[in-house]
Chain A
Amino acid sequence: GAGVSQSPSNKVTEKGKDVELRCDPISGHTALYWYRQSLGQGLEFLIYFQGNSAPDKSGLPSDRFSAERTGGSVSTLTIQRTQQEDSAVYLCASSLGPSGRLLPSYEQYFGPGTRLTVT
């Protein structure tokens, strides 16, 4: 079946501009996650949505970052007034829900990412 999709695949923007990154999760997955991967670094958690619960925003690095999830499906990550240090690959993942079960189907499945370059 279709996996997690993200758009755009690449984005180049000027410092100070706002950008929006989109994520379409796997159909039926109620949990959605955003991570950031900087050059040579592992993935850094940003935000987590689960159903209608309040999102876990504990990983957002500053108030310039925000995310929303409409209709329990598509999510948009917005970065305002972009800075050069925001340059990274932004990865979205989805899962069936609370990953308390030890089954691969409940684990997180990643999209291909959006490569953001701030010049």
Chain B
Amino acid sequence: QKEVEQDPGPLSVPEGAIVSLNCTYSNSAFQYFMWYRQYSRKGPELLMYTYSSGNKEDGRFTAQVDKSSKYISLFIRDSQPSDSATYLCAMRRGTSYGKLTFGQGTILTVHP
């Protein structure tokens, strides 16, 4: 079983929809949680980052972490065609630097 599980989708939604992307994990040592967005044939770019449990909002994006359930989410409000990409969750332990553990990535398409 992988340490981080993410539904690969693909997910297709109409423009303006609210999108919910999720990851579950098994390692309770993870304390830092990130979401990366990756456009086709590009490297991942950091979208959101959070520490431990709680919510964080940045414009149309909201990241949620529930450590008790080992579950993280990314919500995209008023989705746009330009949001069409692969979204990767990633996480890192608090005591070791460097290595990120990624989910498989969810392919999202927002159609006009």
Interface residues of A, Cβ cutoff 8 Å to B: 4, 31, 33, 35, 40-45, 48, 50, 56, 58-59, 91, 93, 97-100, 102, 104, 107-113, 115
Contacts and interface: CB of A to CB of B under 8 A. Distances in A.
B34 A107 contact: yes
Interface hub of B41, B43, B45 (most chain A Cβ within 10 A): B43
Which size bracket describes the interface of B in this complex? 20 to 34
Contact of A45 (B36, B46, B101): B101
Given A41-B104, A42-B103, A99-B32, A111 B98 contact: no
28 contacts: A4-B43, A31-B98, A33-B100, A35-B102, A40-B8, A41-B104, A42-B6, A42-B88, A42-B103, A43-B88, A43-B90, A43-B102, A45-B101, A48-B98, A91-B44, A97-B97, A98-B98, A99-B92, A100-B97, A102-B32, A104-B46, A104-B49, A107-B34, A107-B46, A109-B45, A112-B41, A112-B42, A112-B43
Contact of A110 (B44, B97, B98, B101): B44
Nearest to A115: B41
Contacts of A4: 43
Interface in B82-112: 88, 90, 92, 94, 97-105
B104 A42 contact: yes
B4 interface: yes
B61 interface: no
Contacts of A50: 97-98
B46 A109 contact: yes
A51 to B, nearest CB: 11
B71 interface: no
Contact of B49 (A56, A107, A110): A107
Contacts of A110: 36, 43-45
Contacts of B6: 42
B51 interface: yes
Given A43-B88, A104-B49, A112-B42, A33 B32 contact: no
